[in-house]
Chain A
Amino acid sequence: MSDEEDDLILDELDDAELVLQMHDDLYDGMADEIDEAVRILLKREWLPYDILTKALVEGMRIVGIDFRDGILFVPEVLLAAGAMKKGMGILKPLLVETGAPQLGKMVIGTVKGDIHDIGKNLVAMMMEGAGFEVVDLGINNPVEDYIGALKREGADILGMSALLTTTMPYMKTVIDTMVEQGIRDDYIVLVGGAPLNEEFGKAIGSDAYCRDAAVAVETAKEFMARKHNQV
């Protein structure tokens, strides 16, 4: 960033410029600037849901594209996510008050034996940003935890994540158990993680492999729309 840009006064920008600046600030992982911009838009009587979707989620979508294309790397994505998290921290309580749309409920966690949760955390955050309720089971989840949470929470979607070649087969264990219990078709099952691919997702009986958080959100929306059309 140039010195000139460092001197930018966010409050002097009009709404459209400020939203574009927020996309830039998210891209650069500038959490304090995002915090300030979110408060400015709230002061200008923007709906929290609009700030979330037009400024934060859209900004992270751009980050996601550049990550996929090899322009950004994991550290930059984490910094951007940290900035988005700060903005969401302000908006989250307001979203409940203002009745933001709820698209569905997702239970998510990394599989048994896997403690790598960066991808899972990004997906959870983007799903929340897109209007899904997310129940995050954290790391190292055995099949009982997934199935217990799905039933308890009345969830629509199960999201499983794995970073290791050695742990990704456990996703099949979970899906097979759901089949045995006759509940497989009650849920949309999405899987993701660095060593996975589409073939693996199909082979284990998931509904879809999602290569990144943005794809997970779009896939979840698509499956929820199909589900509603079936009713």
Chain B
Amino acid sequence: MKTLIIACGALAREVLALIKLNNWQHMELSCLPADLHLRPEKIPDAVEAAVEAARDKYERIFVAYADCGTGGLLAARCEKLGVEMISGPHCYSFFEGNEAFDARGEVTSFYLTDFLARQFDAFVWRPMGLDKHPELRDMYFGNYDKLVYLAQTEDDSLTAAAGVAAQKLGLEFERRFSGYGDLSMHLKALPY
């Protein structure tokens, strides 16, 4: 069954890695810009447009997004479109595993994934204006106490980058290896 994965750009490497690892030849990937997360209200429309554009060419479409700050609107849209998506609030949660993440109940941790460790300046530092106005840092991060790097892969350079990010934000640093978590589970469940 020919399947299209419509994914957040922040998951592109991870989805491709899983496709390669599992030799899922029935699966293709199409990504939406990761910076949609800066305006989550735009995600449902962008996903709908991508689904409608691809619907005739694939037997199945899977949306590789969690709720991602849409307040349930993406889930409602996917239901309307008749496509499945990833369960959970965001990628930090499904990478660790939604149940495990929920059980931790961490409130004052700020999370990075491999993508965000790699793209910290482009997706966190600059969009928040911290390159030009570092004095805003504590208005954004003053209530956090720790940066948790949820690593999908073993990569020393990313761990170092995440450590530097923690330092820039003035937060303690912790690295946890999560692997691909529930992302892997969801993609494996899609029939051939």
Contact = CB atoms under 8 A, between A and B. Distances in A.
A194 B129 contact: no
Given A74-B129, A194-B69, A195-B69, A165 B136 contact: no
B89 interface: yes
Interface string B106-133: 0110000000000000000001111011
Contact of B71 (A118, A140, A197): A197
B140 A113 contact: no
Interface string A67-86: 00010011110110000000
Nearest to A110: B143
B33 interface: no
Contacts of B144: 115
B71 A165 contact: yes
A25 B136 CA distance: 18
B73 A197 contact: yes
Contacts, number: 58
A168 interface: yes
Contact of A118 (B39, B107, B139): B139
A74 to B, nearest CB: 7
Contacts of B133: 75, 78-79
A164 interface: yes
B contacts with A: majority SS: loop
A44 B129 CA distance: 36
Given A74-B128, A74-B129, A117-B143, A196 B71 contact: yes
B170 to A, nearest CB: 15
A contacts with B: majority SS: loop
Given A195-B70, A196-B71, A113 B129 contact: no
Interface in A168-213: 168, 194-197, 200
Contacts of A139: 143
17 contacts: A73-B127, A73-B129, A74-B128, A75-B128, A75-B132, A75-B136, A78-B136, A79-B136, A117-B143, A118-B140, A139-B143, A164-B89, A165-B67, A194-B40, A194-B69, A196-B71, A200-B72
A116 interface: yes
Nearest to B105: A113
Contacts of A114: 107
Given A74-B128, A76-B129, A79-B133, A116 B72 contact: no
A106 B102 CA distance: 32
A166 interface: yes
A194 B107 CA distance: 17
A9 B114 CA distance: 50
Q: Which of A75, A116, A166, A200 has the most CB of B within 10 A?
A: A75
Contacts of A116: 143
A75 B129 contact: yes
A165 B129 contact: no
Given A75-B132, A78-B129, A113-B105, 6 more contacts: A73-B127, A115-B108, A139-B143, A140-B107, A166-B89, A195-B71
B189 to A, nearest CB: 23
Interface in B132-147: 132-133, 136, 139-140, 143-144
Closest 3 CB pairs of A and B: A75-B129, A195-B71, A115-B143
Interface in B67-119: 67, 69-73, 89-90, 102, 105, 107-108
A2 B182 CA distance: 53
A19 B144 CA distance: 38
Contacts of A196: 71
Interface in A96-140: 113-118, 139-140
A75 B71 CA distance: 23
B71 A200 contact: yes
A168 B89 CA distance: 12
A164 B67 CA distance: 10
